[in-house]
């Protein structure tokens, strides 16, 4: 068994939607990011990479490489899942927390879980997505961006 933890944050910028957990969420802002800015998937990627000792998302998908400009984070996750499998592991479960003052996440969480479980190849019950606010404290509370935390458990195939 191996565990990993991940964290990511992106500031808001111009746009009319966010992508979280592979799901498009209507919003009056977008993320400032090199890829689609999906902070939830980025945190999961870092948890997976950490669990198998392969560094972090920036090492594998640097923001200086134009190959990844605007790329769907689902594609990045698929690549990382292949790396995890090459190391002889599979995902047992993921637990994650989105930290955002807005938009309200509850209408989208079930779709995020469904999308993530499908990409990862596990039952929906093996992927947990929670959301919380910071009661208007800090950068997320001031509506400057969104942060995500994730942990994973990997087991031998």
Binding-site residue positions: 8-10, 34-35, 42, 56-58, 61-65, 132-135, 142
User: Phi, psi at residue 143, to the nearest 5°?
Assistant: 75, 30
What is the C-alpha separation between 120 and 154, in angstroms, rounded? 12
Query: Residues within the annotated binding site for a divalent metal cation?
Result: 8, 10, 42
Give the whole-angstrom CA distance, residue 62 versus residue 57. 8
CA distance 69 to 103: 25
Classified as helix, coil or strand, 1 is: coil
Q: Identify the helix (H) or strand (E) that includes residue 117.
A: helix 109-120
> Which residues 6+ apart lie within 8 Å of 56 measured at CB?
46, 49, 50
CA 97 to each of CA 16, 26, 42, 135: distance values in angstroms, whole numbers, following the listed order: 23, 20, 12, 15
């Amino acid at each position: 068994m191996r565990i990993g933890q991940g964290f990511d944050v992106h500031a808001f910028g111009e746009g009319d939607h966010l992508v979280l957990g592979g799901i498009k969420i209507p919003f009056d802002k977008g993320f400032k990011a090199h890829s689609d800015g999906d902070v939830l998937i980025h945190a999961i990627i870092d948890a997976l990479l950490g669990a198998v000792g392969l560094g972090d998302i920036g090492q594998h998908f640097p923001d200086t490489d134009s190959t990844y400009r605007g790329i769907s984070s689902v594609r990045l996750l698929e690549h990382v899942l292949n790396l995890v499998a090459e190391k002889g592991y599979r995902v047992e479960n993921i637990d994650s927390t989105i930290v955002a003052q807005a938009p309200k996440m509850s209408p989208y969480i079930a779709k995020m879980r469904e999308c993530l479980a499908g990409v990862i190849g596990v039952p929906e019950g093996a992927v947990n997505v929670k959301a919380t606010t910071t009661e208007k404290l800090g950068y997320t509370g001031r509506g400057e961006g969104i942060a995500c935390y994730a942990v994973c458990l990997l087991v031998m195939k």
